[in-house]
Amino acid sequence: MKLGILLIFIALFSTIATTADLGDYPGFFLSKGKPDVFIIVGNEAPATHVIAQSKLALALGNEFGQPLSGKALLASDVEDISSINAIILGNACINEISSEVLGNQRPCSSGIGAGEAKLQLFESSEGKIHIVANAYSDKGLAEAVNALIDYRDFDFKGDEYSLDIEGEEVQIFENEAPEAEEKAPEKEIKGIKQETEKAENEASLDEPAEQPEPVKEEEAKAEAEETGFFSKIADFFRKLFSIFRG
């Protein structure tokens, strides 16, 4: 009986001892005195995310007393997120690794809204620690990263820390844009075409008939002179015939 209780106690203590807490940041990213964390941005991340990535890497390097060389990655550089410690920048709509860690939620912006940013802590099946800087906007991400840089000014604890972001507006992420409207049925298209042709025919009837351009004065004068010349020749022959008949 006592042995069973002891085993239960050991199991509970082991669980508590291995459960990560934001209050232990950034110490859990040190392994044998060396930095053991990657900072990941999405493949199509805006420049502000890359700048935040660089700032955080520099700050942690200063914190640990060693530079984080080769620790800044794109999402496509990661083969198995469960096997590495990582700080993942950007929400699930922007960073596919965030999407994977958050459970491939749909829509991709679930759990985060305008005016909000979160630092969310996860532990992988292999015991690796992930922090997702889950922000609604670039401004929110910058503030979340600044919180990680100035962590001593914040009361981190548990597996989530929320920040209020002022001045954010609701937006539609590219991955959540409504699908293009379905193609209209063939019958409907045919009807539209017939109505269009009918309108074009009516418009052509209403248009005034084109008037012939007036004959230019010079052309009219030339025609008149030509007609007078032939008339004179005809009169000459008529007179000539009348003389012979007489």
What confidence score (pLDDT) does residue 183 get?
39
Phi-psi region of 213 (alpha: psi -120 to 50; beta: other; left: phi over 0): beta
Average pLDDT over residues 230-239: 64
DSSP for 24-59?
Answer: GTTGGGEETTEE--EEEE-TT--HHHHHHHHHHHHH
Report which of residues 218 and 1 the model is more confident about. Answer: 218
| pLDDT reading at 219 higher than 80 | no
Please give the CATH architecture assigned to the domain spanning 10-176: 2-Layer Sandwich (3.30)
pLDDT tens for 135-187 read: 999 999 999 999 999 999 999 999 999 999 987 665 555 555 444 333 344 44
What confidence score (pLDDT) does residue 182 get?
38
Average pLDDT over residues 211-221: 56
Position 218 confidence tier, pLDDT thresholds 50, 70, 90: low
**Separation CA 20–CA 28 (nearest Å):** 8
Contact 125, 82 (CB under 8 A): yes
What confidence score (pLDDT) does residue 113 get?
85
73-77, 94-98, 157-161, 186-190 — which is least confidently predicted? Answer: 186-190
pLDDT tens for 79-94 read: 999 999 999 999 999 9
> Mean pLDDT for the chain?
79
